[in-house]
Amino acid sequence: SKRVALLISGGGSNMVKLVESMQGDHPARAVLVGSNDPEAGGLKKAAAMGVPTFAVDHRPYKGDRAAFEAELQRQLEEAQPDIICLAGFMRVLTEGFVRNWEGRMLNIHPSLLPKYKGLHTHQRALDAGDDVAGCTVHLVTPELDDGPILGQARVPVQAGDTADTLAARVLVQEHKLYPAVLRRFVSGDQTLLTLD
Ligand code: GAR
């Protein structure tokens, strides 16, 4: 079965849903969870699910992304993953690192790409007066939040939404979309999945 490593920076709710999905009948299994933050809450959740974890703290590297990524790469290679899932991983990756995993690294982004690449996606959707928000799973390419789209889920914006209430509604859909896209991707299906 295919080996999946996951990278997180925070609470790791998407990571948990992905790992849980692979614990059932699935063509892949989670072999490693890594973080750039040793304090990331998701690391303990991964360990509790029986998945090995590691952290490479980005801070001592002081902006030397290549050195940070070399250590990230070294840790990942030990687990020999076939696929990398970025799941709330908040470090920008250089072209060199991305090329190591070209066609094999997925990311989830909390907007309907190509809208709102980068940060503060929900506030930007609200500021624009959008009546639909959502999330996207895509293949990672060197350009930020720009790779081929594998899946999207649309989420209605409601009157009175704040960035936080909208984020929470989108996150519910992230938890459905990412496992569904990963299962298809592992099976060789890269056609667009749309959830509503
Ligand atoms: C998710 O909403 C994810 O889409 C977003 O961070 C959150 C992580 O939550 N990712 C990005 O913003 C990537 N730039 P989680 O740690 O609970 O999965």
Is 109 noted as a catalytic residue in this protein? yes
Under 8 Å between Cβ of 88 and 15? yes
Residue 13 annotated as part of some ligand binding site = yes
> How buried is residue 123: exposed, middle or buried, by Cβ count under 10 Å (0-12/13-18/19+)?
middle
Of 26, 58, 109, 122, which residue is the catalytic one? Answer: 109
8 lines ligand 1 (CB under 6 A): yes
* pLDDT tens per residue, range 42-88: 999 999 999 999 999 999 999 999 999 999 999 999 999 999 999 99
Under 8 Å between Cβ of 52 and 33? yes
Measured in Å, residue 22 CA sits from the centre of ligand 1 at 19
41 lines ligand 1 (CB under 6 A): no
Measured in Å, residue 110 CA sits from the centre of ligand 1 at 7
Residue 14 annotated as part of some ligand binding site = yes
Q: Is pTM beyond 0.90 here?
A: yes
* pLDDT tens per residue, range 39-51: 999 999 999 999 9
Residue 63 annotated as part of some ligand binding site = no
- First vs last Cα of the chain: how many Å apart? 30
Mean pLDDT confidence for 9-28: 98
Sign, CA torsion 161/14/35/185: negative
**Average model confidence (pLDDT) for the chain?**
98
Q: Give the three-state DSSP class for 84.
A: strand
What pLDDT does 152 receive?
A: 98
| ipTM rounded to 2 decimals | 0.99
* pLDDT tens per residue, range 92-129: 999 999 999 999 999 999 999 999 999 999 999 999 99
Q: Give the three-state DSSP class for 36.
A: coil
174 lines ligand 1 (CB under 6 A): yes
What pLDDT does 138 receive?
A: 99
Q: How many Å apart are CA 49 and CA 1, to the nearest integer? A: 19
Measured in Å, residue 9 CA sits from the centre of ligand 1 at 8
